[in-house]
Amino acid sequence: MSSRTVIRGGLVITASDEIHADVLIEDGRIAALAASGTPAAEAWTAERTIDATGKYVIPGGVDAHTHMELPFGGTFAADTFETGTRAAAWGGTTTIVDFAVQSVGHSLREGLDTWNAKADGKCAIDYGFHMIVSDVNSETLKEMDLLVEEGVTSFKQFMAYPGVFYSDDGQILRAMQRSAENGGLIMMHAENGIAIDVLVEQALARGETDPRYHGEVRKALLEAEATHRAIKLAQVAGAPLYVVHVSAMEAVAELARARDEGLNVFGETCPQYLFLSTDNLAEPDFEGSKYVCSTPLRPKEHQKYLWRGLRTNDLQVVSTDHCPFCFVGQKELGRGDFSKIPNGLPGVENRMDLLHQAVVDGHITRRRWIEIACATPARMFGLYPKKGTIAPGADADVVIYDPGAEQIMSAETHHMNVDYSAYEGKSVTGRVETVLSRGELVITEREFTGRAGHGVYTPRSTCQYLN
């Protein structure tokens, strides 16, 4: 028996349109849109009606960069797939693409199986996987082809973290050549990790152990250099490139130059780089450790270049890089040695709200908000138009968003499994009210009504965003 829901009276916002429309949902999919108050819309009958008068009706967020349960620095990211996807739903995100990890000496398949087992039956919202490739060899390269066919169509490589996830230029070039053939997309952590390790050693030898030195040794120039090198390697390989967590204005300039040359080069930034800075890293009493991530937070003057990049489409996506570690017991591992602080910030619950605040502040338009947070990540990672838009045939992943609600971000009220908020005390205008995932209510007027296991693994096609 079919089940129907109608959402009435809201302003439907997609990456391309804003229209006062009613939305009909049937069997988990968007069935139709019709201008509110018209006979076509009034004729719809449904078991459930949601009144969205005065609210926005937007596609569920697509967060293309999360790390639930990531092993890092001798500990694990504190959100499980269960807690992290629940928190994502609270924040208006209905799809995540997390990173399965290949350990050195093991196959991609083993890594993928491990991550599938972690997520299976636990998620409140739909999810897919990228693959972190830590060990490029002839077997791994063959496996990449198989994974692309199966719907794991993107591969992260690291120019940072020697001895852990690091790939050298030859390994990167080989993986890029392979992706040029099989349609995969290489996602690059672009920092010169070899040079950074020298600077870390020198800083520690000088007794510079506080969290703020994390930002000082991971220099913007070393992000720019790696970004430039990754672009050139991709150009040699004839492969597209997606640079993750861009934070330095010099790296944005490298991306802009490459895009002006017509290259298929894309950039992602994260809310922490848009709203936080080295001032946070310098907070006393080891509080700065809460803001240790890589690439690092930059001085405030970088932010305007990131906002501009988002407006000019030199940056295409805002993801969270959600990788939470508690202050107590986890960030504290690096007291007396900043290089031992686990890298990562919580944020999966905050992204849609912070980007709405950016609309309120005049940095981006409402449609650009939806484009960078929903539609483009879906296109970039082969999920569109199933995800990322409100259109007939799309999954009914829909958020009723109250643009006038005021909230104060805090660890007291958030749902992420972490003992601090990176945005503690920040006032934002706008709040998620109701969330549907494939037509099921996951958040209902600020109550969690979803369940672990509702979210399903979602295979992806190859990148749909190429020139």
Ligand X SMILES: NC(=O)NCCC(=O)O
Please give the residue ranges that form the binding site for ligand X (CB under 6 A).
67, 189, 245, 293-294, 321, 323, 343-344
Question: Going residue by residue from 306 to 325, which x/- string records binding to Zn ion, judged by CB under 5 A?
Answer: ---------------x----
Minimum CB separation from ligand X for residue 77, in Å?
A: 8
Residue with Cβ nearer Zn ion (79 or 321): 321
Question: Which partner, ligand X, Zn ion, none, binds residue 376 by CB below 5 to 8 Å per kind?
Answer: none
Residue with Cβ nearer ligand X (98 or 143): 98
Residue 189 binds Zn ion (CB under 5 A): yes
Minimum CB separation from Zn ion for residue 330, in Å?
A: 16
- For residue 203, how many other CB atoms are within 10 A of its CB? 18
Instruction: Give me the sign of the Cα torsion angle 376, 377, 381, 385.
Output: negative
Minimum CB separation from Zn ion for residue 226, in Å?
A: 11
The piece of 14-22, 41-49, 100-108, 182-190 that touches Zn ion (CB under 5 A) is: 182-190
The piece of 26-34, 48-56, 185-193, 203-211 that touches Zn ion (CB under 5 A) is: 185-193
Residue 351 binds Zn ion (CB under 5 A): no
DSSP string, 252-267: HHHHHHHHHTT--EEE
Minimum CB separation from Zn ion for residue 439, in Å?
A: 31
Minimum CB separation from Zn ion for residue 79, in Å?
A: 13
Q: How far apart are CA 330 and CA 77, in angstroms?
A: 9
Residue 379 binds Zn ion (CB under 5 A): no
Long-range Cβ contact pairs of 24-28 (< 8 A, separation 24 or more): 25/396, 25/398, 25/436, 25/439, 26/2, 26/439, 27/2, 27/3, 27/439, 28/395, 28/396, 28/438, 28/439, 28/440
- For residue 445, how many other CB atoms are within 10 A of its CB? 10
Question: Which partner, Zn ion, ligand X, none, binds residue 280 by CB below 5 to 8 Å per kind?
Answer: none
- C-alpha of 70 from chain center: 15
Can you tell me whether residue 7 is helix, strand or coil? strand
Reported residue count of the chain is: 467
- For residue 292, how many other CB atoms are within 10 A of its CB? 25
Residue with Cβ nearer Zn ion (251 or 443): 251
Closest residue to Zn ion in the complex (CB)? 189
Minimum CB separation from ligand X for residue 342, in Å?
A: 8
H/E run at residue 91: none
Question: Which partner, Zn ion, ligand X, none, binds residue 343 by CB below 5 to 8 Å per kind?
Answer: ligand X
Minimum CB separation from ligand X for residue 130, in Å?
A: 11
What would the two tokens of residue 168 be? 């050298």
Question: Going residue by residue from 202 to 241, which x/- string records binding to Zn ion, judged by CB under 5 A?
Answer: ----------------------------------------
Closest Cα to residue 131, out of 157, 86, 99? 99
Residue with Cβ nearer ligand X (227 or 437): 227
Query: What are the Cα distances from residue 188, in Å, to 39, 176, 242, 243?
Result: 51, 11, 6, 5
H/E run at residue 272: helix 271-275
Q: Which residues bind Zn ion (CB under 5 A)?
A: 189, 321
